[in-house]
Structure formats: C-alpha cells, structure tokens
Chains A and B, each alone.
Chain A
Amino acid sequence: KQEVTQIPAALSVPEGENLVLNCSFTDSAIYNLQWFRQDPGKGLTSLLLIQSSQREQTSGRLNASLDKSSGRSTLYIAASQPGDSATYLCAVDFGNEKLTFGTGTRLTIIP
C-alpha cells in the first residue's frame, strides 16, 4: 500500500532557528512530491513541487529535498519566524490520479 508518513505530528521551535520537517513514503516510484502549508480556517497553500527527476527545490527561506531511493523528503526552513506557524503537509503523486497526503506536522514558532 502506498503511504505517506510525517513525523513528528507537532513541533515547537524558538524564533530564529533553522528547522527540518520530515516526510517518508513507501513506494520509490513517484512522479512528484509537493509540500503544502495549511493555516487554521484557510485552504492549502502550495509551497514547493519537486519532480521525480529532481533532488531539491528552493523558494526563499524554504528548501525541499527528495531522495527517492530512501523514500524520504525534507522541508528545511531557515531563520524561522512566528508567521511560519502552521501545519505542513507532504503529498505524493504515485501515478494513480490522486495525491496521497501525510497527516502533517503542526509547527509552532515561539517568539
């Protein structure tokens, strides 16, 4: 069964620190992987999309990496800010006409 796992479910970090969020998936035959941000009462905001042929993608303070052979992706956030507090979701396209989501990591940045 194709599954996506995100551990830990919650993370608290002091403002200004760099941090890494983890995503693991069970099948290395993926088409792409996408990181989203979800704020309470709001929708999903796409952060980064990594194609299966890529190793990493960067957008501002965010850097996402992909290692298909080990079934892992990481989202690196540099110099964290209180506005980064949100739930971060990892979603994988396994080629079956849908995105398979992890249950997310709820991130709290402590001022």
Chain B
Amino acid sequence: EAQVTQNPRYLITVTGKKLTVTCSQNMNHEYMSWYRQDPGLGLRQIYYSMNVEVTDKGDVPEGYKVSRKEKRNFPLILESPSPNQTSLYFCASSFAGRFTEAFFGQGTRLTVV
C-alpha cells in the first residue's frame, strides 16, 4: 500500500530535550516536506526537500532541522524544543514537478511542556 508513515503519532516532551520525528514514504517520491498545523493558522510549511541531499527552508523553519540522506526518509529534528513548537505536524511527499498529487502522513501531535 502506498503511504507516508510518521512516527511517533503522539509525543509529550519537556523543553530543551532533543527529539526526532521520522517520516518515510514507499512511493519513490523525489519531493518531501514538513508542515505544522495550528488552530486559526492552517498548515504552514517548515522545510522541504527536492531530492536526496537537497533541502530548503519553508515559511516557518526556526527551531527545526531536517536531513535527506535517503530518498524514502525525511526526519524532522527539534534540537531544543520550546512550548511554541507544540503543534500537529504532517509529512508530505509527491513526485517532482508541478502536476502531481501530494500524499500526507497521519500526523504527529507534539506537546512541549
């Protein structure tokens, strides 16, 4: 089954404790990205990757890091989480190009206390 898989689905952590949210896709997509969803603000892009070893900032990259060492994986790293990073996070993937459908993961609900 074609899918984007995120782990964990739920996470509660404390301020400053480094964490990684994993994202994996099995569709051989070149393009992957991370979004956060907050009430009243909708989904906003954090980082994206056009292919292996190619990443770039989205609209809200502060406090986040990403890496793309393999085509299928695109982890999101929070080096020192803060309460304002409490949010619902989504990973997405698609084939490269302008005319392709985006597929999203199930989401990771992160709470930073």
Contacts and interface: CB of A to CB of B under 8 A. Distances in A.
Chain B at the A interface: SS class: strand
Contacts, number: 51
Contact of B59 (A46, A89, A98, A104): A98
Interface size grouping (class) on chain B: 20 to 34
B70 interface: no
Contacts of B40: 103
Given A46-B101, A103-B40, A103-B42, A98 B90 contact: no
B54 to A, nearest CB: 11
Interface in A68-110: 89, 91, 93, 95, 97-99, 101-104
Interface of A: 31-32, 34, 36, 42-46, 49, 51, 89, 91, 93, 95, 97-99, 101-104
Interface of B: 4, 33, 35, 40-43, 45, 48, 50, 56, 58-59, 90, 92, 98-99, 101-107
